[in-house]
Structure 1
Amino acid sequence: ADFVTETLQQRLYAEEFAHWHQWVKGEFVVMDNVSQLHARTRLGMGGRHMRRIHFN
């Protein structure tokens, strides 16, 4: 169980699996919030960091 947990955490926070997007006015995202586990940094004037994992 420790191996699985450690492996998942390494992958979840690895930069190579992150998607960075610069939003442009008028863009939007459609997502199924029921099928995902997510987190984000607090709202503010600067950038925002969102995380998402999805299992089928």
Structure 2
Amino acid sequence: LLAKAKKYADSHPEQPRLITINAWNEWVEGSYLLPDMLNGFGYLEAVKEVIIDGKYDRY
């Protein structure tokens, strides 16, 4: 889903190059990117892969 959002943002240069990610630390709601004991840095690495390291151009 993030890759699709990045592709959309990249294909609309007339719009602000902004992607909103829901939450950094909403532990109770199950919506977080912070490292945890189960996934480690997995969520952050997935974001990094799309935004920086992947086949997509860096912002």
Structure whose CA Rg is larger: 1
TM exceeding 0.5: no
Q: Give the TM-score, by structure 2 length.
A: 0.22
Q: Give the TM-score, by structure 1 length.
A: 0.22
The structure carrying a bigger strand percent of its residues is: 1
The structure carrying a bigger helix percent of its residues is: 2
